[in-house]
Structure 1
Amino acid sequence: MSCSSTPTSSARTSSTSSGEVVSRYARQNGVQGLRVADASVIPSIPSANTNATVYAIA
């Protein structure tokens, strides 16, 4: 049995809203007042503990 996971970098981010899920300021595109604070917005897998990085984002 194998399992593939995506611990980080799964939400497309950009400074424009042309199909991206999250803006570069962690704002959810298409939903007013909602920000994303999880590992999906980290651009690359951190060398430090992923949980600590997510806490820093939040």
Structure 2
Amino acid sequence: MDALGFFTVFWQLFNLSFIVLIVFLIVSFFRSNRKRAEQLERIEDKIDYLITQLDGKTPLN
């Protein structure tokens, strides 16, 4: 009976850690997506600035 209790506890911990892992992966995905979007925005601003400097005009935004 003790072995059954041990495996039940082990199985519950395994399931809990699996759920925590899934939540962690989802949060990591959204954070990396947001960081990528911010980085692309910075790159776009730099390109707009360079175009402005080369053309002597203001960008269309």
TM-score band, normalised by shorter chain: under 0.3
Q: Which has the higher strand share?
A: 1
TM-score, with length taken from structure 2: 0.18
TM-score, with length taken from structure 1: 0.19
User: Which of the two has higher C-alpha Rg?
Assistant: 2
Q: Which has the higher helix share?
A: 2
